[in-house]
Amino acid sequence: MFNCETVRADFPILNRQIHSQPLVYFDNAATSQKPKAVIQAISDYYTGYNSNIHRGVHTLSGEATDAYEGARGRIGRWFGTEDLGEIILLRGATEALNLVAASLAHNLRSGDVILVGTTEHHANIVPWQQLETSIGIKIVPIPVDSRGTLSLDKARELTRNNRVKVIAIGHVSNAIGAVNDAAGFVSLAREINAFSVIDGAQAAPHMRVNCALLGADFYVLSAHKCCGPTGIGVLIGRRALLDELPPWQGGGDMIDRVSFSGTTYNELPWKFEAGTPNIAGTIGFAAALDYLEKIDFDGAIAHENRVHRHLIKAMKSRKSVELLGNPENWVSVCSFNIKGAHPNDVGTLLDQLGFAVRTGHHCAMPTMEHFNLPGTCRASLAFYNSIDEVDAFIEGLDRVAGMLAG
């Protein structure tokens, strides 16, 4: 059974004071905090069996290899992927999306169309734009409805252009928190024989994601938003496609044999993992998933959603507050502005009171452009946040609004 108070004790940083106030950490969409179990797993690796993986015959290398490959298995079990060749371990969601775009480029021709959600993070826009420049593909944004959710119907209309070859959308938008119909977009892509690319960076921390059930061609996510370390992310792709795609980066580990007369490549997943990977980070991510299982992840999500609803309700009751979006299916995020105030001023004053929120465009400038905003303040929750913290935040925000009005 999930218990918020018990769980909070697992996160040492939550005891910090900021400007002599207890820290209230509402910047989880940027990165989550790390429980002791994750910090310990990383420390155990460096103190007990730090070694490079795969090619060593000595004991430490064997232990590190077992832990690294074991972590891949853990990740596979969490995300419903049995075939570990389909799990590519990378530096983050950004790197995973760059890999997918660069590799798919070999299947695309000038004039081909890629549908990209209007509310995407820059990581799911810019790699596609680079293909506009290099091979002349065309990006068409998928419209967003007034509530902040990507419109599957409008996307379907756009697929009447029979040159749509890729549909790339976020499972959850990072600036709004809208849960998009990932399954709907995956089946739309399948109907028209296009590739589906789902950015799950903001979904994985807030819901059970089963990649086998979802059936996307490519699903990417990031450990650091799921209580894991920074610098580790995952691409889960379909074996048949990954097998066909050329390797992305060249170097050690991704090869089978190298000779000046020609090089052959390693099998999946290592074909896409050139160089020494983030061994400690991968082990730390597996520890994070073990931890999430242990605390009752489903109970944690239910709690977090309750706290989120409480926050949204309180925010909607404030005349001084304008919310960005109002999605039917909404997780973690509350993006807002205080009328007449700049988000940076609001964020700075909130920090003085101990509240950590993010301000600005949240790496989603087209979202801001679409809603005609310079930026927002974004409070984003994790399961270790409490109703009490939300109540304190609302009180703090009322004070800040009063200060800025005065």
Catalytic residues: 363
Q: What angle do CA 310, 315, 321 make, to 5 degrees?
A: 170
Site string for ligand PMP, 213-252 (x = CB under 6 A): ---------x----------x-------------------
Q: How far is CA 37 from CA 41, 72, 129, 170, 292, in A?
A: 6, 18, 40, 29, 10
| Residue 282 lies near ligand PMP (rule: CB under 6 A) | no
279-294 and 297-316 helices, crossing angle to 10°: 80
Q: Choose between 49 and 383: whose C-beta lies nearer to ligand PMP.
A: 383
For residue 320, give the 3-state DSSP assignment. coil
Cα gap 188→320, rounded to integer Å: 41
Q: Which of 39, 363, 365, 403 binds ligand PMP (CB under 6 A)?
A: 363
Residue type, 233: G
350 Cβ contact list (under 8 Å, min separation 6)? 356, 357, 377, 393, 396, 397, 400
Q: Choose between 220 and 242: whose C-beta lies nearer to ligand PMP.
A: 220
**Other CB atoms closer than 10 Å to residue 274's CB: what's the count?**
17
Binding part of the chain for ligand PMP, among 55-63, 118-126, 135-143, 251-259 by CB under 6 A, reads: 118-126
| Residue 202 lies near ligand PMP (rule: CB under 6 A) | yes
Binding part of the chain for ligand PMP, among 42-50, 119-127, 275-283, 385-393 by CB under 6 A, reads: 119-127
| Residue whose C-beta lies closest to ligand PMP | 92
In the complex, minimum distance from the CB of residue 168 to ligand PMP, in angstroms, rounded to a whole number: 11
| Residue 170 lies near ligand PMP (rule: CB under 6 A) | yes
In the complex, minimum distance from the CB of residue 173 to ligand PMP, in angstroms, rounded to a whole number: 7
Cα gap 350→81, rounded to integer Å: 42
Q: Which of 94, 159, 196, 282 binds ligand PMP (CB under 6 A)?
A: 94
Q: Choose between 112 and 120: whose C-beta lies nearer to ligand PMP.
A: 120
Q: Choose between 233 and 269: whose C-beta lies nearer to ligand PMP.
A: 233
Cα gap 138→129, rounded to integer Å: 8
| Residue 165 lies near ligand PMP (rule: CB under 6 A) | no
Burial of 241: CB neighbours in 10 Å, binned 0-12, 13-18, 19+: middle
Q: Choose between 243 and 369: whose C-beta lies nearer to ligand PMP.
A: 369
| Residue 121 lies near ligand PMP (rule: CB under 6 A) | yes
Tell me the site size for ligand PMP, rule CB under 6 A.
14
In the complex, minimum distance from the CB of residue 121 to ligand PMP, in angstroms, rounded to a whole number: 4
Cα gap 81→75, rounded to integer Å: 8
Cα gap 217→235, rounded to integer Å: 10
Q: Choose between 49 and 272: whose C-beta lies nearer to ligand PMP.
A: 272
In the complex, minimum distance from the CB of residue 208 to ligand PMP, in angstroms, rounded to a whole number: 18
**Other CB atoms closer than 10 Å to residue 385's CB: what's the count?**
25
> Residue 186, Cα to own-chain centre: how many angstroms?
18
Residue type, 4: C
Instruction: Note the residues at the interface with ligand PMP (CB under 6 A).
Output: 92-94, 121, 123-124, 170, 174, 199, 201-202, 222, 233, 363
